[in-house]
């Protein structure tokens, strides 16, 4: 079994080696067997090997539960105030002074007849010309108007409302039912609110990699954590110019290789994908030749960030309990499932099949991240 682990690690470590070719002899051109063995031994210390059992599943559930408890802080909107901007339209009324509220003999809508904040950020009201409004809250503008009108009217009582929210917008694009431009108003607009206004996500939407962009900074929002695990830290209070882009599920797949009925990719749907479901999608194991103890899940990691090359999980599937474990073990996008052939010694086949696939997946992913492919 140690040889199994070593050669799986070899296939993963070869990902970072460019201009190298795997040949039927089982080694890399330009590297001697002794050098290759040394590399394998070095990589062994950077790989996490774990057996898929009840202890592992309980550990993963506990980790999720702890994450959920740690992320109970929602978006704080208690002190939210709308900031006026150029293009906003205001309705301004003064109590007991109808002449200052509605022009005589004119019946028009408030939005049409209101006071628009001009390009220079000011409005002009009766007895109060060129009042700075852009960048102020309603309360701040109210105080300025009261001060101005107090010169003419004793203790003026002024009512100000925004009847046209035109200055601030957020954008929802991608796989939603109604992509478009949505106004930021006096009612706080969160990321979840905007997605709901956009009609929700469609069938092709990727719930795991919603991109939220503010200025020149982007981050990934995991909506599945919000909806399934109550991680409200995934929500955001929107500001002018924010962009929410819902990606497609095309890249959210796992890859099932080895001694199965039909090696292929399987899409990770909105509600997740278990190891049992992935194996079922490809028709299951080849009963005559597959080794039920040789079911591996390879999950690549960031060596510099996490200190490991990959996590390798092994399922011993020769008993009924293993079926329960397989159904409970949740896969992540870009996981690779490999089923070995009995006897468990055909490692050249493992490398020759696994390496080109992983390399191709990583290349596509890197190009996708740079925006050059999709």
For 99, phi and psi rounded to 5 degrees? Answer: -65, -20
Mind listing the pLDDT tens digit of every residue in the chain (374 residues)? 545 555 454 444 443 343 333 333 334 344 454 544 444 445 556 777 888 888 888 887 776 656 555 555 567 788 899 999 999 999 888 888 876 665 544 555 555 668 899 999 999 888 888 899 999 999 999 999 999 988 888 888 989 999 999 999 999 999 999 999 999 999 999 999 999 999 999 988 888 889 999 999 999 998 888 877 777 888 999 999 999 999 988 778 899 998 899 999 998 877 788 999 999 999 998 888 888 888 999 888 877 777 777 888 988 887 778 888 999 999 988 899 999 886 544 544 554 455 445 555 555 555 555 554 43
The Cα 250–Cα 241 span in angstroms is 27
Given a contact cutoff of 8 angstroms between Cβ atoms, the answer to whether 249 and 205 are in contact is yes
Residue 95: count of CB within 10 angstroms of its CB: 13
Question: Two tokens at 165?
Answer: 């929210």
Radius of gyration of the chain from Cα atoms?
Answer: 30
Domains of the chain: 11-71+251-369 (3.10.560.10), 89-164 (3.30.1950.10), 169-246 (3.10.560.10)
Q: What residues have CB less than 8 Å from 134, skipping those under 6 apart? A: 84, 85, 86, 117, 121, 122, 167
Given a contact cutoff of 8 angstroms between Cβ atoms, the answer to whether 313 and 291 are in contact is no
The Cα 28–Cα 8 span in angstroms is 15
- Which pLDDT score, from 0 to 100, does residue 210 have? 92
What's the chain's length in residues?
A: 374
Given a contact cutoff of 8 angstroms between Cβ atoms, the answer to whether 94 and 125 are in contact is no
- Which pLDDT score, from 0 to 100, does residue 355 have? 47
Q: Which residues pair with 255 in a beta bridge?
A: 265, 336
- Which pLDDT score, from 0 to 100, does residue 352 have? 45
* The model's pTM: 0.65
Q: How many CA atoms lie within 13 A of 112 on its CB side?
A: 5
Which strands sit side by side in the sheet containing 115-116, from one edge to the other?
115-116, 89-94, 158-164
């Amino acid at each position: 079994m140690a040889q199994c682990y070593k050669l799986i690690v070899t296939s993963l470590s070869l990902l970072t080696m460019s201009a190298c070719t795997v040949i039927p002899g089982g080694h890399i051109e330009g590297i001697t067997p002794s050098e290759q063995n040394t590399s394998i031994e070095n990589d062994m210390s950077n790989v996490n090997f774990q057996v898929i059992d009840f202890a592992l599943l309980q550990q993963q559930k506990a980790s999720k539960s702890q994450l959920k408890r740690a992320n109970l802080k929602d978006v704080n909107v208690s002190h939210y105030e709308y900031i006026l901007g150029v293009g906003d339209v205001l309705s301004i009324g003064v109590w007991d002074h109808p002449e200052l509220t509605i022009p005589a003999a004119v019946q028009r809508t408030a939005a049409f007849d209101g006071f628009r904040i001009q390009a220079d950020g000011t409005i002009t009201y009766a007895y109060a010309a060129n009042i700075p409004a852009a960048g102020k809250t309603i309360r701040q503008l109210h105080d300025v108007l009261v001060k101005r009108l107090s010169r003419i009217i004793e203790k003026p009582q002024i009512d100000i409302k925004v009847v046209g929210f035109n200055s601030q917008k957020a954008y929802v694009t991608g796989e939603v039912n109604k992509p478009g431009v949505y106004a930021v108003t006096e009612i706080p607009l969160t990321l979840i609110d905007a997605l709901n206004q956009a009609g929700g996500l469609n069938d092709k939407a990727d719930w795991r990699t919603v991109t939220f962009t503010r200025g020149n900074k982007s981050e990934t929002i995991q909506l599945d954590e919000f909806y399934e695990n109550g991680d409200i830290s995934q929500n955001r209070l929107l500001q002018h110019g924010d962009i929410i882009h819902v990606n497609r599920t095309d890249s959210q797949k796992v890859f099932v290789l080895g001694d199965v009925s039909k090696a292929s990719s399987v899409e990770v749907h909105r509600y997740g994908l278990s190891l049992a479901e992935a194996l079922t999608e490809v028709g299951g194991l080849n009963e005559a030749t597959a080794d039920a103890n040789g079911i591996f899940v390879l999950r690549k990691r960031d060596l510099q960030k996490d200190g490991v090359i990959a996590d390798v999980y092994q399922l011993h599937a020769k008993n009924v309990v293993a079926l329960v474990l397989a159904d409970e073990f949740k896969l992540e996008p870009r996981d690779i499932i490999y089923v070995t052939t009995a006897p468990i010694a055909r490692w050249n086949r493992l490398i020759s099949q696994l390496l080109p696939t992983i390399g191709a997946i990583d290349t596509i992913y890197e190009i996708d991240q740079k925006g050059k492919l999709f």
